[in-house]
Structure 1
Amino acid sequence: MSHNTSDSDNEITTTKAKLFEHDIHQALGGKEVADILLWRNKKVSAAILIGMTVIWFLFEVVDYNLVPLLCHISITVMLVLFIWSTAAQIFNWNAPKIPDIILQDDLVEDLASIFHRGFKQLLPMLHYISSGIDLPRFLLIIFSLYILSVIGTYLSFVNLLYIGFLCMLTLPIGYERYEEEINNLVGNFIMDLRKKYKKFEKRYLSKIPRRSVKEKKTM
């Protein structure tokens, strides 16, 4: 019994946790979206961050409604394009062009692929954790979801979306730069949880009386 326990403890201590099977760029799709989230295309990433910050400011601080905001943005864009096009004809300037990044089909396909792949990985993972095989991780996710629900009661939906967007533009690049440190931190945390669960199981759960298989068959 003690030999098995020591083997399981050694297995826990030697197992290293890793958040992603591949590098973070491949985990995010390895294309234009991954470049944006990892700030490899700094101009586009900064433009998106500024744009989302302005939208958050208009919704949360100025109290804009969605329909007037969309209408005013469309009016502003059309006026800018009209003035720019007229000035280009008069002064022989270059006519305005819509950035190619907006018209790329690959960008939308990459976004859809990332969400689809993440959803396909999330459902089996939740099913596996909910089956009770990995109780420490199950309790950790339950606790995390509860904390998120508490935070959601004090923040509006727009604020949550904006915070999530900021996390998308900061956490991946932070993980890429400090991958080893984060993996070690997460690994140590998970190993500590598993050790505590093993002690709890040995002290309490293993002492719970259970019926044998023969008794179940006779009944």
Structure 2
Amino acid sequence: MAHNPSDSDNEITTTKRKLFEHDIHQVLGGREVADVLLWRNKKISAAILIGMTVIWFLFEVVEYNLVPLLCHISITIMLVLFIWSTMAQIFKWNAPNIPDIILQDYLFEDLATIFHRGFKQLLPMLHYISSGIDLPRFLLIIVSLYMLSVIGTYLSFVNLLYIGFLCMLTLPIMYERYEEEINNLVGNVLVDLRKKYKQFEKRYLSKIPRGSVKEKKRT
């Protein structure tokens, strides 16, 4: 039976699937950190965003060094707490308390779990892609890493960290809201790359001469 070229196209098209096997909330840990990254708790997410923006501003614009910045922040916090505590004793106000959410162990455990899960999934995926089984995705990763390296030469480490932090607070919520559209877009890109690779393989790779493997005759 003759092979129909459209069959391979249909086979490629059917390979489109979701970027993540589970819900994005579960991918991010399914706990309070995921709620923060998905803006389920808008006050905390906004406070973290503002705090990181202030830190970025102090490092990049004001050009603070790390040690003086930490010392000045500590001095400011201690002065505020001292004044607040003194005024609370005089006017019978409530004394300042550190929010319980900052002291919870699970926040750090969730962050560690997210990074561990990410590396655990990333390394086997890179090994699989590097094996040459999926050449279009391999080329896509190589080009993406090269573009990232070029961008990194023009940005400082603090700027890259801040951009990465902004991506953490924006990309998950964008994916959750527009999951179907993003899946379709990424799927179409991958399908297009696979089609171009099939054409490249048919025109060039298939014409490369290969030595024939002769089966040994049994005596």
TM-based fold match above 0.5: yes
Q: Is the 8 A contact 1:17 1:186 kept in 2?
A: no
Corresponding residue for 2:36?
Answer: 36
Structure showing the higher helix proportion among its residues? 1
Residue 146 in 1 paired to residue 166 in 2? Answer: no
Gaps of at least 5 residues in structure 2 are none
Corresponding residue for 1:209?
Answer: 209
Residue 125 in 1 paired to residue 96 in 2? Answer: no
Matches of 1:205 and 1:120, distance apart in 2: 34
Matches of 1:184 and 1:75, distance apart in 2: 51
User: Which 10-residue stretch deviates more, 1-10 or 180-189?
Assistant: 1-10
Matches of 1:173 and 1:121, distance apart in 2: 21
Matches of 2:5 and 2:111, distance apart in 1: 46
Gaps of at least 5 residues in structure 1 are none
Matches of 1:57 and 1:137, distance apart in 2: 37
- Measure how far apart 1:110 and its partner are: 0.2
Please report the RMSD computed on the Cα atoms of aligned residues, expressed in angstroms.
1.5
Corresponding residue for 1:16?
Answer: 16
The within-5 A match list for 1:40-59 is 40-59=40-59
- Measure how far apart 1:209 and its partner are: 0.9
- Measure how far apart 1:4 and its partner are: 6.7
User: Which 10-residue stretch deviates more, 15-24 or 197-206?
Assistant: 15-24
Corresponding residue for 1:91?
Answer: 91
Corresponding residue for 1:65?
Answer: 65
Corresponding residue for 1:188?
Answer: 188
Matches of 1:85 and 1:4, distance apart in 2: 80
Provide the secondary structure at the position in 1 that maps to 2:16.
Answer: coil
Cα deviation per residue 1:43-69 (whole Å; 9 max; x = unaligned)? 110000000000000000000000000
Aligned length: 217
User: Which 10-residue stretch deviates more, 97-106 or 11-20?
Assistant: 11-20
TM-score (norm 2): 0.95
Matches of 1:82 and 1:23, distance apart in 2: 45
- Measure how far apart 1:24 and its partner are: 0.6
- Measure how far apart 1:9 and its partner are: 2.0
Cα deviation per residue 1:114-136 (whole Å; 9 max; x = unaligned)? 00000010100000000000000
Matches of 1:71 and 1:129, distance apart in 2: 46
Corresponding residue for 2:105?
Answer: 105
Matches of 1:29 and 1:120, distance apart in 2: 14
Matches of 1:5 and 1:125, distance apart in 2: 30
- Residue type at the aligned position of 2:87: A
